[in-house]
C-alpha cells in the first residue's frame, strides 16, 4: 500500500482574500469551516457572494458548519500544476452535510483506498505562514 496523502508545505498560489471572502479565511485560521446563509430564504451560499444565488436577498450571514461530509469526486494529480505543489495530491469535491459542495484536497488516505461516498471531515493545515487551508480526511468514527 502506498503512503497516505499529506498536506502541502510552503508557498502556494492563492489570491488575496477580498472583503467578501475574508470572513471565511479568518475563521479557517481559527479552525472553523464557514458558509453564508441567506436570512430571507435560508439557502446556503458558497463560495461567498454579495447577493443570494437563490432569492437574490442581500442579508447574508456567516455560519460555522459541522465540517463533515462525504466524498463526491476526486482525482490523483501526478503532474503538479506548478513546482510549488508536491505530487501526488488529490483534488476533490466534497458534499458537506449542510447541503453544499466545495473543492478541497483529500489527505490522510492512500490513493488506492479512496472511494466515492466515503465519510470525510475537515482538517485544517497552515501550509505557509498565515495560509490555513481546509483539507479533508476520512472521518475517524
Partner 1 sequence: MSPRRAVIAGVFNTPQARRLEGWTTRKLAATAALGALNDAGLTLADVDGVITEGDSAGLVYDLRLGPAWRGWGFGLEAVTEAANAIEGGQADVVLITAGAAGVYLDRDATAPWTRPENEFVAPWGLFTAAEFALVARRHMTMYGTTPEQLATVAATIRNNGHQNPEAVYSGRGPFKPEDVLASRMVADPFHLLDCSMTSEGGCAMVLVSADRMADIDSRPVHVLGGCTDYFGPAYQFPPSWDLAGRRGGPVNGEIGKRAADRAFRHAGLERSDVDVLELYDPFSFEIIRQLEAFGFCGPGEGGPFVEDGHIAIDGSHPVTTDGGTMSFSHAGGTPQMLQRVIRGVQQLRGEAGPLQVPGAEVALCSGAGAGALFNSVILLGTEAS
Chain positions contacting partner 1, by CB under 8 A: 8, 12-18, 21, 47, 54, 72-83, 85, 89, 91-93, 101-105, 111, 116, 127, 131, 133
Decide whether 122 or 141 has the Cβ nearer to partner 1.
122
Smallest distance from the beta carbon of 32 to partner 1, in angstroms?
16
Decide whether 112 or 141 has the Cβ nearer to partner 1.
112
Residue 108: left if φ>0, alpha if ψ -120 to 50, beta else—which one? left
CA distance 4 to 119: 16
Decide whether 1 or 116 has the Cβ nearer to partner 1.
116
CA distance 28 to 30: 5
Smallest distance from the beta carbon of 11 to partner 1, in angstroms?
10
Smallest distance from the beta carbon of 34 to partner 1, in angstroms?
13
CB 72 within 8 A of CB 95: yes
What residue has cell string 485544517? 124
Decide whether 55 or 64 has the Cβ nearer to partner 1.
55
Smallest distance from the beta carbon of 140 to partner 1, in angstroms?
23
For 108-128, b/e burial (b = at least 16 CB within 10 A) is bbebeebeeeeebbbbbbebe
Amino acid at each position: 500500500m502506498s503512503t497516505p496523502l499529506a498536506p502541502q508545505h510552503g508557498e502556494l498560489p492563492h489570491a488575496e482574500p477580498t472583503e467578501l471572502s475574508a470572513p471565511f479565511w479568518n475563521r479557517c485560521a481559527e479552525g472553523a469551516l464557514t458558509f453564508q446563509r441567506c436570512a430571507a430564504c435560508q439557502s446556503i451560499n458558497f463560495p461567498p457572494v454579495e447577493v443570494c444565488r437563490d432569492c437574490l436577498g442581500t442579508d447574508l450571514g456567516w455560519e460555522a458548519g459541522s465540517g463533515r461530509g462525504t466524498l463526491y469526486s476526486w482525482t490523483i494529480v501526478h503532474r503538479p500544476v506548478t513546482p510549488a505543489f508536491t505530487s501526488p495530491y488529490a483534488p476533490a469535491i466534497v458534499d458537506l452535510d449542510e447541503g453544499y459542495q466545495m473543492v478541497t484536497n483529500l489527505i490522510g488516505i492512500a490513493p488506492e483506498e479512496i472511494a466515492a461516498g466515503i465519510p470525510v471531515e475537515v482538517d485544517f493545515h497552515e501550509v505557509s505562514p498565515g495560509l490555513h487551508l481546509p483539507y479533508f480526511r476520512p472521518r475517524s468514527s
